């Protein structure tokens, strides 16, 4: 009987970097996001030898523990995955976000004639006063492939961000970060520009992860290094995931920057208050109310 293939292996002999091997591009990105959520900086590389991540040797043992636990939990396809002692998890609430977007796609395609035209990001109409399109565009998708791509990346980025900051807080922050991304379209593109999709919100979730982990916030050089490592790790993932020339790169960049800024704002607040169930309930209510408000305005326009 053959031994099951291991999805990664760490090379211990390199003097300047530890190496994590990955079987595919998707696995490499997944590992990098999981490590980033724990404050471990890594770089995704690819050559003839395959996909791999490099990281500092002193992070090797912790990375081994985090990713080993990630593999064990994902064998059972758990929607809420415990990642080692550090406590990283994919929050199951991200699945509800996926269901919401899938429902809206079905409604727009089969039951809501003209829904896309009512809610898409159209610069000329936003400039004419239809500001709600900054938000409604995030609930719409052009086709099934577009939807699946955003659901795949969003489940991971938003699931990790929801675990760090709280479900309601993280989703509301990513929602506004995505709106900021659409606002960047408004500033940098002509009046004829049109777009739709939740990718700005997904990049907002990545930006929330790039803000330093709460336990790393202290004083002195260690804090500066933690901040720089988190930002560089998030930026490298953004380059790999958000710079597809066929996509709305401006909205992606705006969403990512918005997520980073909101992440630092959250880190500056008292953390027990940010993660308190009441705060997340309020944020979730604001998110739901905002979504209902913008679509009611779209229907009346």
Over residues 212-233, the mean pLDDT reads 63
One fold for 10-83 and 91-300: no
Residues 172-188: tens digit of each pLDDT: 999 999 999 999 999 99
CATH topology of domain 10-83: Alpha-Beta Plaits (3.30.70)
Higher-confidence position of 61 and 88: 61
CATH topology of domain 91-300: Rhomboid-like fold (1.20.1540)
Over residues 218-224, the mean pLDDT reads 57
Instruction: Flag whether pLDDT at 196 surpasses 90.
Output: yes
What residues are labeled active site? 199, 252
Instruction: Flag whether pLDDT at 143 surpasses 50.
Output: yes
8-17, 33-42, 270-279: range with lowest mean pLDDT: 8-17
The structural domains of the chain, with segments of one domain joined by +, span: 10-83, 91-300
Instruction: Flag whether pLDDT at 137 surpasses 80.
Output: yes
Percent of the chain with pLDDT over 70: 83
Q: What span, in angstroms and rounded, lies between the C-alpha atoms of 46 and 123? A: 38
Quote the pLDDT of residue 222: 58
Quote the pLDDT of residue 283: 97
Quote the pLDDT of residue 240: 74
Quote the pLDDT of residue 218: 52
- Residue 80: pLDDT band (50, 70, 90) is very low
Chain Cα centroid distance, residue 250: 16
- Residue 239: pLDDT band (50, 70, 90) is confident
- Dihedral sign, CA of 172, 107, 143, 27? positive
Token pair, residue 172, equals 């509301």
Over residues 154-178, the mean pLDDT reads 94
Instruction: Flag whether pLDDT at 84 surpasses 60.
Output: no
Using DSSP bridges, classify how beta strands 10-11 and 43-47 pair: parallel, antiparallel or unpaired.
Answer: unpaired
């Amino acid at each position: 009987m053959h031994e099951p293939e291991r999805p990664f292996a760490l090379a211990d002999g390199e003097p300047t970097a530890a190496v994590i091997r990955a079987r595919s591009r998707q696995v490499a990105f997944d590992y990098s996001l999981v490590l980033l959520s724990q404050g471990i900086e890594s770089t995704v590389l690819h050559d003839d030898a395959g996909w791999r991540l490099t990281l500092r040797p002193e992070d090797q043992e912790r990375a081994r523990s985090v990713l080993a636990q990630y593999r064990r939990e994902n064998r059972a396809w758990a929607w809420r995955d415990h990642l080692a002692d550090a406590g990283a998890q994919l929050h199951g609430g991200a699945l509800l976000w996926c269901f919401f977007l899938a429902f809206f796609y079905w409604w727009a395609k089969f039951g809501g004639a003209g829904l896309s035209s009512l809610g898409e990001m159209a610069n000329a109409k936003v400039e004419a006063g239809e500001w709600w399109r900054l938000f409604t565009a995030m609930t719409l998708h052009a086709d099934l492939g577009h939807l699946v791509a955003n659901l795949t990346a969003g489940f991971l980025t938003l699931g990790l961000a929801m675990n760090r900051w709280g479900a309601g807080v993280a989703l509301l922050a990513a929602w506004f970060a995505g709106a900021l991304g659409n606002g960047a379209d408004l500033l940098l593109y002509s009046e004829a520009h049109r777009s739709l999709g939740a990718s700005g919100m997904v990049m907002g979730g990545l930006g929330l992860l790039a803000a330093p982990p709460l336990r790393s916030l202290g004083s002195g050089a260690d804090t500066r290094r933690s901040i720089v490592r988190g930002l560089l790790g998030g930026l490298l993932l953004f380059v790999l995931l958000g710079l597809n020339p066929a996509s709305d790169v401006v909205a992606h960049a705006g969403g990512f920057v918005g997520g980073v800024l909101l992440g630092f704002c959250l880190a500056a607040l008292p953390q027990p208050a940010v993660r308190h169930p009441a705060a997340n309930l309020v944020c979730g209510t604001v998110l739901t109310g905002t979504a209902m408000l913008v679509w009611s305005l779209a229907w009346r326009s």
